[in-house]
Amino acid sequence: MVLAFKVFEVIEPRDLGILASKLRDVAIIEEAEIDGRTVETGIAVRELQLEEDKLRGVFEESFVATFRYRDEYFKVPISVETPFEFYVHGDRVFLILEAKKQRANRLAGFVGEIVSAKKGSVVEAELSHETLKAMYESNPEGTKVIFFDNVRLPGIEKLSLYGEQLANTELYQKYLQLGTIWYIVYETEEGIVIGVTRNCVVTVFSRVDPETALEIIRERIIPKTLPLPGREEE
């Protein structure tokens, strides 16, 4: 099963204890009625656990979905769980959400509203074009896909290299002159295939457990992220 994550950086607060106190018992709940039955909808923080350098938990989102069966429509209550982890790296704090991009962005915005009165307290983590370039050039044989954006060709937004094309160093150099690397899929030394974008969307294609995927993000991705503007000297 493919695992999807997105990594964010917390500007403030950068203390796990404070983050835990602000998130503990958070629940924004409403009631809805389905066929005479009252159900709860909304979002709540569950299973919050504070460790030495991590704060883990689960966002539980509940809502009512409508399904069609032939000419009938049925309303069904649904709950979706999204595991999350705040992780301390040096003097920085990162938020890792196990979710696809759209849900991860929405939940990161929710976290920002809960933990700080200042707008923009949780922002996307970023990798540089140079970092993705180095990841490919250090292991070209293990690279599966490269996407380029910011392409300076009329009518073309993205360029890509797949499979045997990646062995064509002349084509790779040409694409580097035309754009910047946005996305790379590569195989780690342990044989795990992952995809990474510059805004730290991480997709693990190999069959691994979530903890193994998180360990890759902590050790291979987060240390390579760009420092926030104004904090380069910290």
Could you report the per-residue pLDDT of 17-61, keeping only the tens digit for each? 999 999 999 999 998 888 888 999 999 999 999 998 999 999 999
Q: Which domain holds residue 82?
A: 3-124
Q: Count of domains in the chain?
A: 2
Higher pLDDT, 93 or 166: 93
- Neighbour tally for 81: CB within 10 Å: 13
Across the range 67-92, mean pLDDT stands at 95
Q: What percent of the chain has pLDDT over 70?
A: 98
Whether 145 and 179 map to the same domain: the answer is yes
Output the pLDDT for position 206: 96
Whether 80 and 11 map to the same domain: the answer is yes
Contact 203, 1 (CB under 8 A): no
Indicate the average pLDDT of the chain. Answer: 93
Output the pLDDT for position 164: 75
Whether 115 and 25 map to the same domain: the answer is yes
pLDDT digits (tens, 9 = 90+) for 102-114: 999 999 999 999 9
Q: What percent of the chain has pLDDT over 90?
A: 77
Whether 58 and 12 map to the same domain: the answer is yes
Identify the domain boundary among 124, 153, 173: 124
Whether 172 and 142 map to the same domain: the answer is yes
What 3-state class would DSSP assign to 42? Answer: strand
Whether 18 and 102 map to the same domain: the answer is yes
Whether 98 and 23 map to the same domain: the answer is yes
Q: Is 233 a residue whose pLDDT tops 60?
A: no
Output the pLDDT for position 33: 87
Whether 75 and 107 map to the same domain: the answer is yes
Whether 77 and 139 map to the same domain: the answer is no
pLDDT band at 118 (very low <50, low <70, confident <90, very high): confident
Across the range 196-223, mean pLDDT stands at 97
- What string of DSSP letters covers 10-30? E-S---HHHHHHHHTT-EEEE
- What string of DSSP letters covers 133-173? HHHHHT-GGGEEEEEEES--BTTB--EEEEGGGGG-HHHHH
Across the range 173-186, mean pLDDT stands at 93
Identify the domain boundary among 66, 93, 124: 124
What 3-state class would DSSP assign to 100? Answer: coil
Residue type, 216: I
With respect to residue 221, please indicate whether it lies within any of the assigned structural domains: no
With respect to residue 80, please indicate whether it lies within any of the assigned structural domains: yes
Whether 10 and 104 map to the same domain: the answer is yes
Residue type, 86: F
With respect to residue 81, please indicate whether it lies within any of the assigned structural domains: yes
Whether 52 and 114 map to the same domain: the answer is yes
Q: Is 232 a residue whose pLDDT tops 60?
A: no
Alpha-carbon distance of 10 to 12, in angstroms, equals 6
Whether 21 and 87 map to the same domain: the answer is yes
Residue type, 133: K
